[in-house]
Amino acid sequence: MHTPMTKKALFPGSFDPFTSGHEAIVRRALALFDEIYIAIGVNTEKQYMFSTNQREKKIRQFFPNDNRIHIIHYSDMTVDLCHRLNLHFIVRGIRNAKDLEYEQTIAAVNHSLDPQIETILFMADNEHRDISSTLAREQLTHPKQ
């Protein structure tokens, strides 16, 4: 009996913190992919508000007991992670023209490093268009009185 190949994708980011906008992208990507690897990027040169373990715990709260979601950490190039996991798709979210320009550049670099890797860009829903990790950190640091 022939079993269909599982379609898997990588959703990389710093996720500092993981937001409802990120969650929406993952849920939409699950309509196309059987499994999503949410890859928390770790850059020793960068200051994070939340530790890697705190970020992972937050993501798990969004997807309790969902075996289609895998949460991993990585500190090397995204293409190298794709190679290690044998993934050929990268999922990214776009909120605005600035995001689009940035993501197109990154997608082109990744594609030049490995033409077998495709980046799938999801436009943010209207309700999530103004949500960013930067804004979320700002709100956590300076709550409204």
Residue pLDDT, tens place only, 86-120: 999 999 999 888 989 999 999 999 999 999 999 99
Rounded distance between C-alpha atoms, residue 133 and residue 131, angstroms? 7
For the chain, the domains span 8-141
> Distance (Å, rounded) from C-alpha 33 to C-alpha 30?
5
Q: Is pLDDT larger for residue 44 or for residue 3?
A: 44
Answer yes or no: is pLDDT of 132 > 60: no
Q: How much is the pLDDT for 51?
A: 93
Residue 145 DSSP class: -
Look up the CATH architecture of domain 8-141.
Answer: 3-Layer(aba) Sandwich (3.40)
107/120 Cα distance (integer angstroms): 9
Residue 2's pLDDT band, with cuts at 50, 70 and 90, is: low
pLDDT score recorded for residue 137:
47
Contact 125, 22 (CB under 8 A): no
